[in-house]
Amino acid sequence: MFFKERCSLCGGKLDSGNVCTECGLDNNKSEKHYRVNRSSCDGQPLTHVHQPEYDSRRKDRSRQEREQKEKERSALAQSSGSRARSGRSRKKAQPYNTYIEGEKRDRRSRVGKLVTVIIILVIVVSVIFPLVDQYIDESQYDSYTDYESYEDYDYDPYAYVTREIPADGVSYSQQFAQGDYVVGVHIPEGTYVMEGQGDNYISLSVDDAENGIYLYESVDDEVTSVDDIRLYTGAVVSISGDGYLTLSADNAQAEQTTGGLPNPLTESVRISGGQTLTVGEDFPAGVYDLSAVSGYGAPEITICDQEGNELQTLYPWLTDSSETESIYRNVVLPQGAVFSNTDEELELELVPSEAIVSEDYLGYYDRY
Residue-range definition of the domain harbouring residue 200: 170-256
Does 105 fall in a domain? Answer: no
Name the nearest CA neighbour of 318 among 361, 339, 338, 289. Answer: 289
Same domain (yes/no): 288, 247: no
Strands (E), the chain: 170-176, 179-182, 190-195, 202-208, 213-219, 225-231, 236-241, 245-252, 261-262, 269-271, 276-278, 286-294, 296-297, 300-304, 310-314, 318-319, 327-333, 338-340, 347-352, 355-356
- In this prediction, residue 2 has a pLDDT band, given cuts at 50, 70 and 90, of very low
| Whether the predicted model's global pTM rises above the 0.75 cut | no
What is the three-class DSSP state of 60? Answer: helix
Express each pLDDT in 21-62 by its tens digit.
888 888 876 554 445 555 555 556 655 555 554 455 555 666
CATH number for position 175: 2.60.120.340
Same domain (yes/no): 287, 219: no
- State the pLDDT at residue 92: 46
93 pLDDT exceeds 70?
A: no
Does 321 fall in a domain? Answer: yes
- State the pLDDT at residue 103: 62
- State the pLDDT at residue 237: 98
11 pLDDT exceeds 90?
A: no
Across 267-276, average pLDDT: 97
279 pLDDT exceeds 50?
A: yes
Same domain (yes/no): 346, 266: yes
Across 81-108, average pLDDT: 54
- In this prediction, residue 181 has a pLDDT band, given cuts at 50, 70 and 90, of very high
Q: Considering the chain, what is the average pLDDT of its residues?
A: 83
Express each pLDDT in 115-161 by its tens digit.
888 888 887 777 776 777 677 766 665 665 555 555 566 889 999 99
Range with the lowest mean pLDDT among 7-16, 47-56, 183-192, 326-335?
A: 47-56
Express each pLDDT in 194-235 by its tens digit.
999 878 899 999 999 999 999 999 999 999 999 999 999 999
Name the nearest CA neighbour of 231 among 166, 313, 297. Answer: 166
Identify the top-confidence range among 65-79, 122-136, 262-276: 262-276
Question: To the nearest whole percent, how much of the chain has pLDDT over 90?
Answer: 54
As to burial, measured by CB atoms within 10 angstroms (0-12 exposed, 13-18 middle, 19+ buried), residue 182 is buried
- State the pLDDT at residue 331: 98
Same domain (yes/no): 267, 361: yes
Same domain (yes/no): 306, 225: no
Same domain (yes/no): 271, 248: no
89 pLDDT exceeds 50?
A: no
Does 292 fall in a domain? Answer: yes
Same domain (yes/no): 240, 316: no
